[in-house]
Amino acid sequence: MRDNTTVYTPYEVFNVQLGRRYRFRVITNSLNTCPILFSIDNHNLTVIASDGSPLEPYTIDSIVLYSGERYDIIVHTNQDVRSYWMRTSGMLLCGTLKAFQLAVVKYKGAPDEEPGGNKEWNVDTHGIQLDPLNTKTTEGFVDISQLNSTLPNDESLNEVPDRTIYLGYDFNIIDNFRSHDKELYSVHEVDAPFRRFTQQINHISTVFPPSPAQTQYSDIPTGLFCNEESMKANCTREFCQCVHVIEIGLGEVVEIFLVDEGATFNTNHPFHLHGNYFRVIALDKLNTSTTIEEVKALDAKGMIHRKLDKAPLKDSVMIHDGGFTVLRLHAKNPGFWFFHCHFQTHTEMGMGLTLQVGTPSQQPKVPKKFPKCGPWKYEGYEEEGQGSKDCPTNKECRVMMSYVVQFLMFYTIMLLY
Ligand SMILES: [Cu+2]
């Protein structure tokens, strides 16, 4: 409503012809906590790629897209000649708001009228759903680790990785000085509506360094970096933050367990890695909450099946709340790569870390005169009339220029005479 007038925005219309196959490239940035259920009435969807990496075709009826993910989907237009709703319905926060959007898939020759069926937020689906939200993969559901990559197997799918990294993350109930003072209004003492939880990985909130590590590594005080091993404090009891960095040797094959502890409340965090692809070799939902210890115990009993043949290659992946996802990374791209929950507010509050692949000497060289940035601190104003060292405001420069002009004039006059 605007000025007591209802504004109707026209639906996006995808014009199609009977008997063809159309490739839809679906992407969600969804910076907030909003997985999106995507479907097209009366049509199934054949997934052929994700995050730009090819997959063996797999036909489903609907898909839940998580922040940062991209899917390539083939739609076979083999239904009656009319129009159909393309539906997106938000989940989690957007489910609370019952947020949804519709578009129209219109067959050539169809009457110029709206598709039939409801025009509402709706997350009830039929048939096979890919990557259901926080739901154990059972009949009717399939998760991304069950799809096959068409790319050849590589070193990331070696039977035994060079090392394993466990990353447990959650909204932690801890006195983070940004929102709580443990002496005056501790998070443990205020009423629930006033509690601000702290997003952390391995009980550390990451902060951004004052300069980019990739191009100005030596400008960053080494004391700002930390990880679980180097942290001296007991981070389960006191708030810990730093530039959270985990070093990986160039060429190593690393297995990464992402464990969504899910103790505080029921949500979901999709993770995105910059500069690399990883294989998704396992994922599961265990309970309403879990721990790294529980996941390790399951693994020790041989109850985590690793898909080491044709595992899909991605850069963004979902993890069930109270569950885990296992990735394999062949670290062959040197650099400082941010690995983070793709929900913007969670990242800003610390749910991320940097994977440092290779030593500083193994990093790509920095181009000459590459722009630099760093911290700035207010120290008063420049003196009047000396705001810039460029001419004509700088006094020394103006004097020098006047000498040059006088010399040129004198030399020109001498030549003329
Ligand atoms: Cu998150």
pLDDT band at 415 (very low <50, low <70, confident <90, very high): very low
Give me ligand 1 centre to Cα 350, in Å.
9
146 by DSSP, 3-state: which? helix
Residue 414: what pLDDT? 45
* Dist. CA 352 → ligand 1 center (Å): 9
Question: What pLDDT does 250 receive?
Answer: 98
Q: Provide the pLDDT for residue 385.
A: 60
Mean of pLDDT values over 72-84: 98
Q: If you measure from the C-alpha of residue 271 to the centroid of ligand 1, how many angstroms do you get, rounded to a whole number?
A: 8
Q: What's the CA-to-centroid distance between 59 and ligand 1, angstroms?
A: 29
Return the pLDDT at 91: 95
H or E segment and range at residue 353? strand 352-357
Kindly give the distance from the C-alpha atom of residue 349 to the centroid of ligand 1, in angstroms, as a whole number: 9
Which 8-state DSSP code applies to residue 194? G
pLDDT of residue 417: 40
Higher pLDDT, 407 or 123: 123
pLDDT above 80 for 228: yes
- Tell how far the Cα of 160 is from the centroid of ligand 1, in angstroms: 30
Distance of CA 209 to the CA centre of its chain: 19
pLDDT of 210 above 90? yes
- Tokens representing 34? 């909003």
Distance CA 265, CA 243 (A): 26
The answer to whether 317 and 254 have CB atoms below 8 angstroms apart is no
Distance 343 CA to ligand 1 centre (A): 5
Q: What's the gap in Å between 4 CA and the centre of ligand 1?
A: 38
Q: What is the mean pLDDT of residues 38-44?
A: 97
Residue 92 CA to ligand 1 center (angstroms) comes to 12
Find the range with the poorest average confidence among 49-58, 83-92, 287-296, 387-396: 387-396
Distance from Cα 94 to the centre of ligand 1, integer Å:
15
pLDDT in tens, 241-259: 999 999 999 999 999 999 9
- The verdict on whether omega for the bond into residue 392 sits within 30 degrees of 0, i.e. cis, is yes
Sketch out the chain's domains with CATH numbers. Answer: 13-142 (2.60.40.420), 155-362 (2.60.40.420)
Distance of alpha carbon 136 from alpha carbon 34, whole angstroms: 19
Q: Is the pLDDT of residue 395 over 60?
A: no
* Alpha helices per DSSP H over 217-338: 292-300
Give the position of tokens 């067959």.
107
| pLDDT tens track for 344-363 | 889 999 999 999 999 999 99
- The rounded Å distance from CA 207 to ligand 1 centre is 15
Could you tell me which residues come within 8 angstroms of residue 246 by beta carbon, excluding any fewer than 6 positions away? Answer: 165, 227, 353, 354, 355, 356
Under the banding of pLDDT at 50, 70 and 90, the label for residue 138 is: confident
Dist. CA 330–CA 204, nearest whole Å: 25
Helix (H) or strand (E) holding 400: helix 395-416
Question: Which residues, at least 6 apart from 13, have a Cβ–Cβ distance to it below 8 Å?
Answer: 103, 104, 106
Please report the ipTM that was assigned to this predicted complex: 0.95
Name, in order, each residue with C-beta under 8 angstroms of 117's C-beta and a sequence gap of 6 or more. Answer: 41, 85
How far does the centroid of ligand 1 lie from the alpha carbon of residue 262, in Å?
11
Angstrom CA distances, 113 to 84, 106, 132, 360, stand at 10, 10, 32, 62
pLDDT of residue 416: 44
H/E stretch holding 25 reads: strand 21-27
For residues 3 and 238, which has the higher predicted lDDT (pLDDT)? 238
Q: What is the token pair recorded at 328?
A: 């394999």
pLDDT (0 to 100) of residue 288: 93
